[in-house]
């Protein structure tokens, strides 16, 4: 059972006695998480205010504006109103790194969760048609493997007997990411930079969905799944509570110099150039090969097709915490440095703030955002693998490197 005194959650909690929360047929993401106390009552934990559970901090660096955004919600999927409310709830956290403005990252942070909840299979044909209208790469766009057994491959029309809302989480994430990409390109406002060249407006995005499988809240759960959908170079990391090692939950940065991405882009659409700083860019413009928006680069292979991964955890492979970061942090800190720094602090909020401060000290020039999510193994005794490296970098912290978006 949930121990309120243990976590000292002093804000954002409202007692609900023993009654069920009201539900509606329409799916809607929520800003709270429901927990059951030892005396049988229920509590609503407002996630953005429960800093002992989830901490976040963001800094614009040397950029004029901060284009990073984040989201913290609980998801309500079709059919969840027929299940136990505690069993069915899923934590949703996302981090979005905008470029060319914050319009796309802002929209994703406020709307992607509701798309995941409400998207229907019957929308797929229209989405595929919209994507193919970009031409180039999308003219030969292949139907994602997640749909191969439920739709007609060439049109995306659902096969007979397939119900619109009966989708696996992988299918739902693929469909909602593609739909979000179409919406973002439609909302994109043409603009030019000071040099007269078109400015690309878009965003990367990495989201994690955490579902407890033992009726405990995610931060106390011994058995849970983390599902990742990932586009771009934002990262989601996990700390192994038994070893203290950093584990990358996302599949790797979608950069043009990634061998798979380079082959995909050259085979189907565009070309990659290296600028004078050594950064690989699509058409010499964009340093990430997958993104939402960026309508002018769609035909050259810039897509929002997500990498999907499911990770399962139990008492045999315990997890201490999860960290979501933008490349303003990972450009100056390794995954293990990030995880080792979080271990030093008592609560996620302070840890997230200090990660951003350290990235600033190390010379990041980009927007830097960090979110730390507490899991069951929080506070476990773990080694610090990178202390000597961090001490050295701190002593030479005048170093600075050019950032790219």
Tens digit of each residue's pLDDT (9 = 90 or more) over 161-194: 777 667 899 999 999 999 999 999 987 665 555 5
Distance CA 281, CA 273 (A): 5
What pLDDT is recorded for position 15?
Answer: 34
Predicted local distance difference test score (pLDDT) of residue 370: 98
Stated pTM of the model: 0.87
* Domain-located, residue 402: no
* 213 CB-contact burial (10 Å; exposed 0-12 / middle 13-18 / buried 19+): middle
- Residues with pLDDT less than 70, the chain: 1-29, 79-83, 164-165, 188-199, 267-278, 398-405
Pair 181, 303: CB distance under 8 Å: yes
Strand ranges, E, within 174-306: 202-203, 205-212, 224-231, 235-240, 246-248, 272-274, 280-282, 292-293
In this prediction, residue 17 carries a pLDDT of 33
Whole-angstrom distance, CA of residue 93 vs CA of residue 107: 15
Whole-number Å distance between alpha carbons of 28 and 400: 44
Half-sphere exposure of 145 (CA within 13 A, CB side): 3
What is the CATH number for 248? Answer: 3.60.40.10
pLDDT number for residue 278: 61
pLDDT of residue 174: 95
- Cα distances (angstroms) measured from residue 18 to each of 24, 278, 321: 19, 61, 30
400: in domain: no
Please write the tens of the pLDDT for every residue from 86-143: 777 899 999 999 998 999 999 999 999 999 999 999 999 999 999 999 988 888 888 8
State the pLDDT at residue 143.
86
The per-residue pLDDT for 398 is: 54
Q: Is residue 328 part of a domain?
A: yes
pLDDT value, residue 194: 56
Q: Quote the CA–CA distance of 362 and 358 in Å, as a whole number.
A: 6
The Cβ of residue 363 has, within 10 Å, a number of other Cβ atoms equal to: 19
Range of the domain at 90: 4-395
Phi first, then psi: give them for residue 9, nearest 5 degrees.
-80, 105
- Residues pairing with 225 in the sheet: 211, 312
Question: Is residue 44 situated within a structural domain?
Answer: yes
How many domains is the chain built from?
1
Q: Which one-letter DSSP state was computed for residue 208?
A: E
Q: Is 46 within 8 Å of 74 (Cβ atoms)?
A: no
Q: Is residue 345 part of a domain?
A: yes
> Which residue, 312, 314, 311, 321, is CA-closest to 377?
321
- Residue 304, in any domain of the structure: yes
Is the residue at 405 inside a domain?
no
Q: What's the rounded Cα separation, in Å, for the pair 356 and 324?
A: 12
- Asked if residue 401 belongs to a domain, the reply is no
Question: Cα separation of 275 and 220, whole Å?
Answer: 48
> Looking at residue 10, what is its pLDDT?
42
């Amino acid at each position: 059972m949930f121990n309120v005194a243990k976590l000292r959650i002093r804000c954002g909690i409202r007692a609900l006695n023993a009654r069920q929360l009201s539900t509606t047929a329409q799916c809607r993401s929520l800003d709270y998480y429901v927990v059951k106390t030892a005396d049988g009552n229920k509590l609503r934990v407002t996630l953005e205010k429960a800093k002992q559970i989830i901490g976040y901090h963001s800094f614009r660096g040397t950029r004029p504006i901060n284009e990073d955004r984040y989201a913290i919600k609980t998801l309500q999927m079709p059919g969840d109103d027929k299940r136990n409310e505690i069993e069915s709830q899923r934590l949703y956290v996302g981090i979005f790194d905008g470029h060319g403005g914050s319009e796309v990252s802002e929209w994703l942070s406020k709307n992607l969760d509701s798309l995941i909840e409400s998207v229907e299979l019957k929308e797929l044909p229209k989405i595929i048609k919209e994507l193919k209208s970009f031409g180039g790469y999308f003219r030969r766009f292949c139907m994602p493997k997640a749909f191969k057994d439920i739709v007609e491959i060439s049109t995306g029309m659902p096969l007979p007997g397939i119900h619109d809302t009966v989708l696996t989480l992988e299918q739902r994430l693929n469909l909602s990411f593609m739909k979000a990409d179409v919406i973002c390109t439609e909302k994109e406002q043409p603009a030019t930079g000071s040099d007269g060249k078109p400015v690309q407006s878009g965003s990367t995005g990495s989201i994690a969905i955490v579902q407890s499988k033992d009726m405990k809240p995610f931060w106390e759960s011994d058995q849970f799944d983390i599902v990742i959908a990932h586009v771009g170079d934002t990262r989601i990391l996990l700390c192994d509570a038994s070893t203290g090692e950093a584990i990358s939950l996302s599949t790797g940065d979608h950069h043009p110099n990634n061998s798979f991405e380079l082959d995909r882009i050259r085979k189907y659409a565009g070309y990659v150039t290296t600028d004078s700083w050594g950064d690989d860019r699509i058409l010499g413009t964009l340093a990430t090969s997958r993104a939402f928006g960026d309508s002018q680069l769609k035909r050259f292979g810039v897509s929002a097709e997500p990498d999907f991964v499911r990770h399962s955890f139990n008492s045999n492979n315990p997890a201490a915490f999860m960290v979501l970061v933008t490349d303003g942090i990972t450009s100056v800190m390794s995954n293990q440095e990030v995880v080792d720094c979080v271990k030093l602090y008592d609560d996620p909020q302070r840890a997230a703030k200090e990660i951003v401060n350290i990235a600033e000290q190390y010379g990041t020039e980009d927007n830097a955002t960090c979110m730390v999510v507490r899991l069951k193994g929080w506070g476990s005794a773990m080694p610090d693998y990178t202390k000597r490296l961090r001490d050295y970098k701190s002593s030479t912290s005048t170093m600075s490197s050019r950032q790219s978006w």
